Every structure is written in C-alpha cells, then in structure tokens.
Amino acid sequence: MKRKRRYRRGYPVAVLVGFEDDHAVLWRIFSRVAKRSLRLELDGKRTVDKALYNFHELVVDSLKPVLKEGVRTIVVAAQARTTYTQNFLDHVKKHHKYLIQSKRPNRANFAELVGSADNRIQVAELTKTKEFANIIAETTSEEADQAVNSLEKHLYGSDSNSVVLYSLKEIEKIVYSLEKSRESRSEHLLLTDKYLAECRQKNRINRLLQIAKNKKVKTRVVNAETQAGNRISQFGGIVFFSTQNK
C-alpha cells in the first residue's frame, strides 16, 4: 500500500479576502499553499447601508484571530469594475482606525488586488501573479521591520522584566511553559526563512512553531536577505522576546 505523502503548508504569510456580490471568502496564504478558511455571507443587499455595515464588521471580526497570531498582511481582492474592496477599506478606516495607524506595533498592512478569489483555481492564479508577489514582498518586509524595531526598543528599554532569548533550547523551554491566557505581556518569535530551511531538526522547529501558535505567541518568518532578516541572523537566525501590553 502506497504511503500517503505528508501535507506541508509551510509558514503563514498573509490572509486573502475575496469579495463577491453577496459573500466573501477568507483564505490563509502559507509559503507553500493557500487554504480556504471561511465563507461569509452578506445578509441583505449591498445597497442597504446596515446590511453592508454588518457584513464588513463580520469580515473584520473574522480577521482578528489571525491578526492575534501575528499575521499582519491582509490582501483584499475583487473583480474589476467593482468597488467592493474600496468599500471595505473605507469601512476599516472609519470604524477600525487602530488597524491602520502607522505608529501602532500591531497594525495590519492592507493591500488591494484586482481579481476573483472565490475558489481554489482562482486563488492559485492570483497568488502566481507578479503583482501578488510584489504585494507580499513589500508588506511582509514592513511587518518584519516593525517586529525588529519592537525588538530593538525592547533590547535597549528600561523594562526590568525584559526577556530576549536566541538559544533554541531556551526558547523551547519558555514557550512550552507559557500559560495560554496572558494579559500583561505579549511574546514574539522571529526566525529567518534561511534558518528554517537549513535547520537539520525540522520536526523540532515545526513543533515549536505549532506550540507557539497554540500559546498565542506572535510568530514571524522573515526573509533572510532583508534588513530585518540580517538583524535576526545576528542572533543566529532565531530570537524570542516579550513586550509589555499597553
């Protein structure tokens, strides 16, 4: 009997939201594959303000759990000659300004793309485009810079309870011992794609990433060729730190 090949999705990169006339589909974009997450229905007509408001609120609420995981790139897509993505982004700017404020460390990076993302074939075509690749490269680079800036402030800050670890063994120990519900602090785990690719103990790293996700640690895989990736490489390619929630 042929052994089933293990399904590998890679690390999380972004969320793709495909807007259609009467619904939206959320896709989790990983480095190796796109996975459908949710289909959200518009209860009413787009011409009815209350129905459209509730629909956009439903999309924002569905994005929040992913944002808490540390994924900050949100790509919104719709067919040409529609205003669906612009209507949603206007809603975010008006009612959820905290998501786009540049000085907030946890802000999201929104980008628009023309095209339908209603099914797997359409999403596969969209994610292969040069435009999509450019969006991901630009926004994930911004995210990485934000995370490293937070690390730098943490390294040279006055918090007496600061923790910065770059030993895999020490990182595993602290991540595995974390309580799931924590309000006073947030933990961050940064590693480069080069570290992930070249590590000889991939099962060990994948286990750490999965447990970190379960423990609500904000995890980010960073391109080693970027400025942020170069800084993380100075720590050996992986670093863990915690910040005080405000």
CA 190 vs CA 1, 47, 50, 101, 151: distances in Å: 40, 44, 41, 23, 10
Domain range 144-244, CATH class: alpha beta
- Write down the pLDDT at residue 179: 78
pLDDT tens digits, one per residue of 73-106: 899 999 999 999 999 999 999 999 988 876 665 6
Which CA distances in Å does 217 have to 45, 90, 182, 186? 39, 30, 10, 7
pLDDT per residue over 47-64, tens digit each?
Answer: 999 999 999 999 999 999
Domain ranges in the chain with CATH number 3.30.420.60: 12-128
Sequence-distant (≥ 6) Cβ neighbours of residue 24 within 8 angstroms: 17, 18, 39, 40, 42, 55, 59
Region(s) of the chain under CATH 3.30.1330.30: 144-244
H/E run at residue 185: strand 185-192
- Write down the pLDDT at residue 4: 44
CA gyration radius, the chain: 19
Q: Which fold has domain 12-128?
A: Nucleotidyltransferase; domain 5 (3.30.420)
Mean pLDDT of 24-32: 92
- Match 């303000």 to its residue by tokens: 49
Eight-class DSSP state of 70? T
Distance from chain centroid for Cα 57: 19
Tokens of residue 71, six digits = 């994924």
